[in-house]
Structure 1
């Protein structure tokens, strides 16, 4: 009975549970970007809207029985569920804005994500299940080239890009000492990562099933690669 009591008191809710809702959004959004690369913008938008609709309806179905006591309609429950998802999205946006503002990255921006998104994207894009030894404090971040630089890196010199990668990685180490970053782009950047000081065990790069011709939207003609970067190689071995 003591154990039951503890579960109903100190174990009733843990602080990390408040990340559940931004984590939901952070699991879905990385798929949007890669669905854009795979199928195009319109199909990706429709698929993601459908996924969010499923989430809202599912949450409304959970809420609705509790509202029956007040004779509230399912439409009201749906609206409440939509509000919860909207707040979750705003909290996710806030987390991203905070970390990127604090970091002052030169080349990239980070978006809060989850291990689930990373593992499923590994299967979707490269047909690989990634073994990831992690700690309870590990966080996962979807990494992107800043929008104004996407498809424009050819305007930067090699030295500028390497310096920016080194700067951004050091900032990530300072702010996120136990994190895994992942992303997908046309071109692997492998040599640039190495010249910026990243060690081999920190970086995993895989070819993807995204057709090379889809890179033309970025003004490029290169294969797409999925990469995983361990910010703290002492704790993560991919």
Structure 2
């Protein structure tokens, strides 16, 4: 009887959990961080071709799942179009999450894009041949971190104190709005001293040099090594 009850629970209250709906935007949030780093690693054209190929495989895979679920009543081309619409919805939902989060936070220096633990772990392998240990909980959210577009490659024109104040403000905003989150990103040059001066402890972030060639940073008007950043945002509730 115990086994029967367990099976019934899995087929009722355990059939689908609310958090599973995150999988739709999470598909996009897993892929997009790779686009930015493939741009840094190989250039814009190869990155675009590779990411389009990945999305194409996802659409075909989704169509292959939909096809039997619709009892083969539609042609595969029609199901492919349906899968394409599904992917567009996933992209829109991902973008809505991003816009909402950034609007609420009002960051001065950064913008966030919803992502996943899978993306971060695979980026660690791609860029640094390592798996980064992550202090995660069931509520941990992952965000791909970028400088705001108008600041990319132009931070050196900003006053150091202004940058430190912006880092401090943005981190505090993240603490205020997010129970438990991990930010990650990649950029030329190390922000370690700035992060520490802004009040972060070394235990609150991980910085590691990547395999991206230094000369690729010239696109930003710099000539510095690329570093992968992982920043832990944990407020009192999340600790």
Name which of 104, 107, 113 aligns with 1:105.
107
Q: How big is the shift at 1:68?
A: 3.9
Native 8 Å contact 2:179 2:235 kept in 1: no
Counterpart of 1:22 in structure 2 is 25
Aligned to 1:231, what secondary structure does the other structure show? Answer: strand
C-alpha distance in 1, partners of 2:66/2:55? 16
TM-score under structure 2 length normalisation: 0.96
Stretches (4+) displaced over 6 A: 233-236
Counterpart Cα distance in 1 of 2:139 and 2:190:
28
| 2:144 alignment partner in structure 1 | 142
What's the TM-score, normalizing by structure 1? 0.96
Structure 1: which 5+ residue stretches go unaligned? none
Shift of 1:177: 2.4
For the 8 Å contact 1:202–1:233, the answer to whether it is kept is no
| CA pair 188-8 structure 1, distance change in 2 beyond 3 A | same
Give a deviation string over 1:75-129, Cα, whole Å, max 9, x none. Answer: 0000000111110010000000000000000000000000000000001101111
Partner residue, 2:223: 221
Identify unmatched segments of 5+ residues in structure 2.
Answer: none
Q: Deviations over 1:124-172 (max 9, x none)?
A: 1011111213110001000000001101111210000000000000001
Distance 1:67 1:170 in 2: 49
Q: Equivalent residue of 2:113, what SS? A: strand
Aligned partners of 1:39, 1:130: CA distance in 2, in Å? 23
User: What residue number does 1:58 align with?
Assistant: 61
How many matched pairs?
235
- Identify which of 91, 113, 116 aligns with 1:114: 116
Residue number in structure 1 paired with 2:50: 47
**In 1, Cα distance between the equivalents of 2:81 and 2:30?**
22
